[in-house]
Amino acid sequence: MPRRCCRFCSQSFEPSRFHPEQSVCGRPECQKQRRAEYHRKRIAADPEYAEVVRDSRRKWRQTHSDYPQRYRQSHPAAVERNRQLQRGRDAQRRAQFLVKNNLALDLKRCSAEAWLIGPAARDLVKNNLASCQMFIFQPLPPTATVSPAS
């Protein structure tokens, strides 16, 4: 039987004589990808299968309701990473509001300059309709303070 190239790892393999149409090699990583791809396609194509999957996930969440708390307790690095990412998303949302808030005042007649200082300044590239002499300072993130020993 002629050898084939695996769709996932591009390695050459010999298909099973019982499944001559085989397009994925037998490596566990490739088989895992094949099963995941099949699962995603089946969920998209079969509403009844998708409902069974949703019910299964719902039941698991109900029986393991304390899982998120236990995960956060056992993975402090993941918790901190999520906090940092959320702070970034929050800052971007606030900066996005500033970008769109350029028609509130008619500052086009003022011949001064505007300076935005802080980490959100890079997100305001589109805010170029108004110029005025104004400084906007954003607070720095809180740092741990050490109290003096007495």
Number of Cβ within a 10 Å radius of residue 25: 21
pLDDT tens digits, 41-73: 999 999 999 999 999 999 999 999 999 999 999
pLDDT at 143: 74
Give the count of alpha carbons within 13 A of 102, CB side only.
15
Residue 81, phi-psi category: left (phi > 0), alpha (psi -120 to 50), beta (remainder): alpha
Calculate mean pLDDT across residues 77-82.
97
When computed from its CA atoms, the radius of gyration of the chain, rounded to whole angstroms, is: 28
Which pLDDT band, with edges at 50, 70 and 90, does 110 fall under? low
Split at pLDDT 50, 70, 90, the class of 122 is low
pLDDT at 129: 47
Confidence at residue 92, expressed as pLDDT on a 0 to 100 scale: 85
Q: Are 25 and 13 in contact (CB under 8 A)?
A: yes
Instruction: Give the model's pLDDT for residue 131.
Output: 45
Query: Is the confidence at residue 81, as pLDDT, over 50?
Result: yes
| pLDDT, averaged across the chain | 82
d(CA 4, CA 31): 15
Segment 96-119 shows an average pLDDT of 57
pLDDT at 16 over 80: yes
Q: What percent of the chain has pLDDT over 90?
A: 59
The pLDDT of residue 107 is above 80: no
